[in-house]
Amino acid sequence: MTNKDAFAQAKKFIPGGVNSPVRAFGSVGAEPVIIQKAQGAYLFDVEGKKYLDFIQSWGPLIFGHCDKDIEDAVIQAVKNGLSYGAPCENETNLARLICEKFDVIKKVRFVSSGTEATMSAIRVARGYAKKDGLIKFEGCYHGHSDALLVKAGSGATTYGNASSAGVPADVVKNTHLAIYNDIKSVEEIFKNHEIGAVIIEPIAGNMGFVPADESFLAGLRKLCDDNGAVLIFDEVMSGFRASATGAMGIYSVKPDMITFGKVIGGGMPVAAFGGRCDIMDCLSPDGAVYQAGTLSGNPVAMAAGLASLTKINNTPELYAKLEKFAKRLMQGFSNAAQKNNIAFQTDVRGSMFGYFFTSKPVKNYADALTSDTKMFAKFHNAMLKRGVYLAPSQFETGFICDAMSEEDIEFAIKMAEQSFDEIA
């Protein structure tokens, strides 16, 4: 079976041939390779071709594919039943691990996707604050629930429908849009509306990679305190990725609530939202805010998450190593671009990296949109051809995993040099 044939079959039965839009490679004018298996730092397609994987399932696999410890934990858990629909001890064990690491989080509830985590966190926040207004930032992506699909990043931006069709105007009338890293735009909204919650990716990974300024986050903290609004850090991507404690490891600003996903499931569908006791106790069955899930806290998924976070705790040098690799990779890409007079910006936090084809540093969504996406597409395809699997959209982030070696990074840099020479 060729990639082309397999994708043609997929398109017959699945809209666009994919179950999440960015996977279709549309924005780089290509077709996806169809994956047959993965191991460590590598993916293998149905034609047997090997790729160095800088997507790592869009973040979850911080130790790479088929990590032995996570794999063993999952196999053990499977033997004890796939789902109980009743409490199990590993839910508490994983919740405890998260609360121990993030001191603002006193209680967490598990869900199965980041979309559910942010949607539910906002519901609790509004229920607690007793105000409907919500502020989100242009280019931030918080999953695909209706109220959040307004100028959303990630696939929504990639496919040119940052504000989705099918979302009634009534549903988004309480969603107010502010500009990332621009505190004045937030002040303006607070002046004119009753705001119950502010949600932000403190280290944005869904308009490309754009970390917030410390002073901007401090400004948000103050506005929320002054106006009785709940500050939610969406760390579905950056939690356990940008540092061992996500944004908390980088900024001194503390949110009221944090949402998690991706790494906390180690590759299984796990996400969570947590916060202070007085906020989280608003949740049903203790409080009046309803939220539920048939497969929430699934025992196999909990075992994978627990193995993943335990391994992170037992690997103290992890983030320093991943950041060293990310910086080396971006330096290599940068040098190769510069040699060919291609405008190029890069940034790194921990295991996350990003690059834009533009001449000035990217601070917000409008800046991100100035990137030359045609050049991005050419670079992407040139790298894929050479066995380097990078996110197929400008409006995504790259990830280093622990299974990568120095040789892998040097290989990717060499391929970038060849690719820039080819496309310049």
Ligand X SMILES: *Cc1c(COP(=O)(O)O)cnc(C)c1O
Residue numbers of the site for ligand X (CB under 6 A)? Answer: 113-115, 118, 141-143, 201, 205-206, 234, 236-237, 261, 271
Q: Are 140 and 164 in contact (CB under 8 A)?
A: no
- Set 141, 180, 319, 365: catalytic member: 141
Bridge partners of residue 273, in order along the sequence: 109, 259
Residue 114, Cα to own-chain centre: how many angstroms? 9
Task: Name the minimum Å distance from CB 43 to ligand X.
Answer: 19
The smaller minimum CB distance to ligand X, of residues 32 and 153, is found at: 153
What are residue 82's phi and psi, to 5 degrees?
-80, -30
Is 290 designated active site?
Answer: no
Q: Where are the beta strands (DSSP E) in 291-413?
A: 345-349, 352-356, 388-389, 398-399
Spatial distance between the Cα atoms of 122 and 117, rounded to a whole number of angstroms: 9
| Residue whose CB is less far from ligand X, 17 or 21 | 21
- Cα separation, 69 vs 297, in Å, equals 20
Residues 6+ apart with CB under 8 A from 111: 117, 120, 271, 272, 273, 291, 293, 296
Query: Minimum CB separation from ligand X for residue 259, in Å?
Result: 7
Q: How far is the CB of 271 from ligand X (least distance, A)?
A: 6
> Among residues 53, 67, 234, 367, which one is catalytic?
234
CB 282 within 8 A of CB 127: yes
**Which of 151, 262, 311, 378 is labelled catalytic?**
262
As measured in angstroms, the least distance from the Cβ of 257 to ligand X is 13
The question of whether 226 is a catalytic residue gets the answer no
Residue 159: is it exposed, middle or buried by C-beta count within 10 angstroms (0-12/13-18/19+)?
Answer: middle
Cα dihedral across residues 128, 129, 132, 134: positive or negative? negative
Nearer to ligand X, 19 or 314 (CB): 19
> Which residue's CB is nearer to ligand X, number 32 or number 332?
32
Q: For ligand X, which residue has the nearest CB?
A: 114
Minimum CB–partner distance for residue 202 and ligand X (Å): 10
Nearer to ligand X, 332 or 398 (CB): 398
Q: Name the residue nearer to ligand X (CB basis): 111 or 289.
A: 111
Listed residue (362, 314, 383, 315) closest to 210, CA to CA: 362
Q: How far is the CB of 198 from ligand X (least distance, A)?
A: 14
Active site residues: 141, 234, 262
